[in-house]
Chain A
């Protein structure tokens, strides 16, 4: 295959992903009760476009499946079947399968027939109205095609009445080329789409068609003339032909308002609602009746079952509605280029801060021109940086759609009925974060379905609806993205969790633990609560893996569980992996950066503020509560513990779960945006350190992960102190 073809092929698969996304959207909307034709149309169009593209690349399996799917969708569109729960479930399954097929096609493989057969069978059953599909087709189809060609002359009289002169009229000449047929497109659908816009008179010019013995199917003999009377703009009409762009000759011209009278007598035309009425006078066709039906065999080759769609579909008017929400124009850019831009901007930020520092060191006064220019430069740098970061940001929607599938699959695996509700799909987050979030989130969703929700019987016993609920939400909260997975299941069975942890030797027996401590046992390596090992979880991959994945993204995960009511896992993530607003502090001889998002306030301690609680635990009063004191220098091993905390500067760190701690530093030096340089790749994970950055003087400063630091700090004080001290430390935790 040539490079150009490869490229087109690649862009087809990208488009497929987008189409599948809108397909999922449409199905979701239908499940949520949308019954309007536009929603159905969206789904139909998505499937149809995939089929069309797949045909162009000879992806037979994909074409075949998309076609069957489309057929059922079309039945639905025509209102002959209704979208009940079973059908929707089937559609979702089809959507998933379609995705698999697209992926398989992209990798030049095919799915096994076994995977497709049951779904195809169900699809067949869904349109069981005419079981002998294949045979019925041509018969059904031909009259349809004829009806387009051969309206009774009496329609023309109608036309003059129906066509109010105020409506704009277009003359469309559409002559498909051979490739249009071979790529799985179907003129009939295009014509129907046009008809949906308004009054259409469609004429097929068949004068060029030779007798059957000279007929060459590779030639393009058919041309349609369409006179359309519609309010929709020319753009929308052109949009109908988007998918066959380059595969046909197309001209669209506005017609003078009086055109009706002039043209009507010369062109045989069709008034859609009268199509069926017009069937009988077949032989009175004004055009050459010898070969009225070539479109049927042509179309049939790629389109074996667009059957049984009489003109009743004219009631659909949704087309224009869908087009009104036209997507914003976008550009596809190679990710590498963006990354390069991100890196360059990172260097720019460092450079800018170096420049600021050297200007400051040179002793220029603050109101000099240089300083003013530098301020502007700083502002600009920041704006550029924000804009560049926004390029990388993507809505979490694609991720959520994948999760919808996980829910469906895992629910059917464990035999529960589960409904997924998503919220905040448009929340944007760095692309890398989205990619790396997929696995942990999948695991959490499976957990929620498998362990979180009770079995249907238990739910009914507890007086809950049989259908379990899993909520997946995303939102921006104080400079971070929070993603929550919650279920309305039984909540964490704390006694059981504790006994399992004891059994597995993860914790010493008979230890007093707070509820949240017990909940956090779930994150310990080698923990799994499933007493029955199901297909889904209990494969030794536990929540500890999830936690690691999240923290490698600079995120944190917390659990809130309410017995009998459900469990909520919250993941809090940084917006970007590239920059961070930080407070530059000095501890001993080292300069450190503390993420601003973690600091809720700073204070300076007065004499007597710090009280000793245990041998290794000091607390300070902050308004009405006592907060544990952590000496950062000691914690990191830089300096020995100080004698007195009088006058010490303290950063008050707030965790997502409301826990707080006071972190002692020597001085606060600056507050600025820093570029994150990962330590993971070059060195590995350092406890309590999230990453590193380069300061204005070229030195490296570590960026702290205060929450990790606090968690480890409390853990250490537990292991280092005598067991008797434990209840006290436990009490310190709110």
Chain B
């Protein structure tokens, strides 16, 4: 399943936003579907020495080297060891491809951008730093990830 399989709703032009939602632990997060390149099953990653703890390593994506970030570790949530049922969401951030390991993909959601609200300012919780907006759907809270914040800068990593 790749992003091209996603239903292309023409109404999204009018300030509507399509999100891919997925589960990390018990929480539900989402990303703008336009930044998703593909979704693939979990494969063992080659770990990188001296990497931040949340970097699982690199995998072979059809001949390219793809770094994989464990989103649970990155967000400071409870971590389970990766299983066959986990998936890697390949996203595109500023021209770089990065894999996000999540527990499972749940849905494709459509919102008007007016339905989004900024997250409350709660500096104490680290995982908030990665949430750019919130919205409510059928009583569930959907967090929209700030991908630029999630993905480590190439220069940061080098240090």
Q: How far is the CA of A699 from the CA of B50 in the complex (A)?
A: 20
Residues of A within 8 A of B63 (CB): 346-347, 350, 677, 694
> Which residues of B in the span 38-90 have a Cβ within 8 Å of any Cβ on A?
44-51, 55, 57-60, 63-67
Q: How far is the CA of A350 from the CA of B62 in the complex (A)?
A: 11
> Which of B45, B63, B65 gathers most chain A CB within 10 Å?
B65
Q: How far is the CB of B32 from chain A (nearest CB, A)?
A: 21
Residues of B within 8 A of A678 (CB): 65
Interface string of A251-266 (1 = CB under 8 A from B): 0000000000000000
Q: How far is the CA of A193 from the CA of B57 in the complex (A)?
A: 68
Closest to A685 in B: B158
Answer whether A683 and B48 are a contact pair too, CB < 8 Å, given A677-B65, A692-B65: yes
Q: How far is the CA of A591 from the CA of B96 in the complex (A)?
A: 26
Q: How far is the CB of B55 from chain A (nearest CB, A)?
A: 8
Select A590's contact among B47, B66, B98, beta carbons within 8 Å: B47
Closest to B96 in A: A682
Answer whether A701 and B46 are a contact pair too, CB < 8 Å, given A677-B64, A682-B64, A694-B60: yes
Interface check B140, CB cutoff 8 A: no
Residues of A within 8 A of B14 (CB): none
Residues of B within 8 A of A347 (CB): 63
Interface check A10, CB cutoff 8 A: no
Complex contact B49–A686 (CB within 8 A): yes
Q: How far is the CA of A702 from the CA of B44 in the complex (A)?
A: 14
Answer whether A683 and B46 are a contact pair too, CB < 8 Å, given A692-B58, A699-B60: no
Q: How far is the CA of A636 from the CA of B47 in the complex (A)?
A: 10
Q: How far is the CB of A29 from chain B (nearest CB, A)?
A: 46
Residues of B within 8 A of A685 (CB): 154, 157-158
Residues of B within 8 A of A684 (CB): 152-158
Interface check A638, CB cutoff 8 A: yes
Residues of A within 8 A of B55 (CB): 683
Complex contact B60–A636 (CB within 8 A): no
Complex contact A688–B67 (CB within 8 A): no
Q: How far is the CB of A540 from chain B (nearest CB, A)?
A: 19
Select A686's contact among B44, B48, B60, beta carbons within 8 Å: B48
Interface check A680, CB cutoff 8 A: yes
Closest to A691 in B: B65
Complex contact B50–A688 (CB within 8 A): yes
Residues of A within 8 A of B58 (CB): 679, 682-683, 692, 700
Interface check B97, CB cutoff 8 A: yes
Q: How far is the CA of A682 from the CA of B98 in the complex (A)?
A: 8
Closest to B158 in A: A685
Q: How far is the CA of A700 from the CA of B96 in the complex (A)?
A: 18
Residues of A within 8 A of B57 (CB): 700
Residues of A within 8 A of B66 (CB): 682
Q: How far is the CA of A637 from the CA of B57 in the complex (A)?
A: 13
> Which residues of A in the span 614-662 have a Cβ within 8 Å of any Cβ on B?
635-638
> Which residues of A in the span 685-712 have a Cβ within 8 Å of any Cβ on B?
685-689, 692, 694, 698-702
Q: How far is the CB of B43 from chain A (nearest CB, A)?
A: 8
Residues of A within 8 A of B96 (CB): 681-682
Residues of B within 8 A of A591 (CB): 46
Residues of A within 8 A of B153 (CB): 684
Q: How far is the CB of B117 from chain A (nearest CB, A)?
A: 34
Residues of A within 8 A of B156 (CB): 684
Q: By the criterion of a CB under 8 Å from any partner CB, how many residues of chain B are at the interface?
A: 28
Answer whether A689 and B65 are a contact pair too, CB < 8 Å, given A682-B97, A684-B154, A684-B158: no
Residues of B within 8 A of A700 (CB): 45-46, 57-60, 65
Q: How far is the CA of A687 from the CA of B46 in the complex (A)?
A: 16
Answer whether A590 and B154 are a contact pair too, CB < 8 Å, given A682-B96, A683-B65: no
Q: How far is the CA of A677 from the CA of B64 in the complex (A)?
A: 7
Q: How far is the CA of A636 from the CA of B158 in the complex (A)?
A: 15
Complex contact B49–A699 (CB within 8 A): no
Select B49's contact among A677, A682, A688, A694, beta carbons within 8 Å: A688
Q: By the criterion of a CB under 8 Å from any partner CB, how many residues of chain A are at the interface?
A: 29
Select A683's contact among B44, B49, B60, B67, beta carbons within 8 Å: B67
Residues of B within 8 A of A688 (CB): 49-50
Q: How far is the CB of A369 from chain B (nearest CB, A)?
A: 30
Complex contact A680–B50 (CB within 8 A): no
Complex contact B157–A683 (CB within 8 A): yes
Complex contact B65–A687 (CB within 8 A): no
Q: How far is the CB of A677 from chain B (nearest CB, A)?
A: 5
Q: How far is the CB of B154 from chain A (nearest CB, A)?
A: 4
Complex contact A702–B157 (CB within 8 A): no
Interface string of A329-347 (1 = CB under 8 A from B): 0000000000000000011
Q: How far is the CB of B54 from chain A (nearest CB, A)?
A: 13
Interface string of A140-177 (1 = CB under 8 A from B): 00000000000000000000000000000000000000
Closest to B51 in A: A686
Interface string of B96-120 (1 = CB under 8 A from A): 1110000000000000000000000
Q: How far is the CA of A689 from the CA of B46 in the complex (A)?
A: 13
Answer whether A692 and B46 are a contact pair too, CB < 8 Å, given A681-B96, A700-B59: yes
Q: How far is the CA of A692 from the CA of B68 in the complex (A)?
A: 14
Closest to B68 in A: A683
Q: How far is the CB of A395 from chain B (nearest CB, A)?
A: 31
> Which of A684, A685, A701, A702 gathers most chain B CB within 10 Å?
A684
Select A699's contact among B46, B48, B51, beta carbons within 8 Å: B46
Answer whether A683 and B154 are a contact pair too, CB < 8 Å, given A694-B60, A694-B63: yes
Residues of B within 8 A of A346 (CB): 63
Q: How far is the CA of A212 from the CA of B55 in the complex (A)?
A: 86
Q: How far is the CB of A146 from chain B (nearest CB, A)?
A: 69
Residues of A within 8 A of B47 (CB): 590, 638
Q: How far is the CB of B63 from chain A (nearest CB, A)?
A: 6
Q: How far is the CB of A719 from chain B (nearest CB, A)?
A: 14
Q: How far is the CA of A636 from the CA of B46 in the complex (A)?
A: 13
Q: List 18 A-B contacts (CB under 8 A).
A: A346-B63, A347-B63, A636-B50, A677-B63, A682-B98, A683-B58, A683-B67, A684-B154, A684-B158, A685-B154, A685-B158, A688-B49, A700-B45, A700-B58, A700-B59, A700-B65, A702-B46, A702-B48
Q: Which residues of A contact B (CB under 8 A)?
A: 346-347, 350, 590-591, 635-638, 677-689, 692, 694, 698-702
- The 8 A-B residue pairs with the shortest CB-CB distance, nearest first, are A684-B154, A636-B49, A684-B157, A685-B158, A700-B46, A683-B67, A677-B65, A684-B158
Given A637-B50, A687-B50, A700-B59, 8 other A-B residues pairs in contact with their CB atoms under 8 A: A636-B49, A677-B65, A679-B58, A682-B96, A683-B55, A683-B154, A700-B57, A700-B58
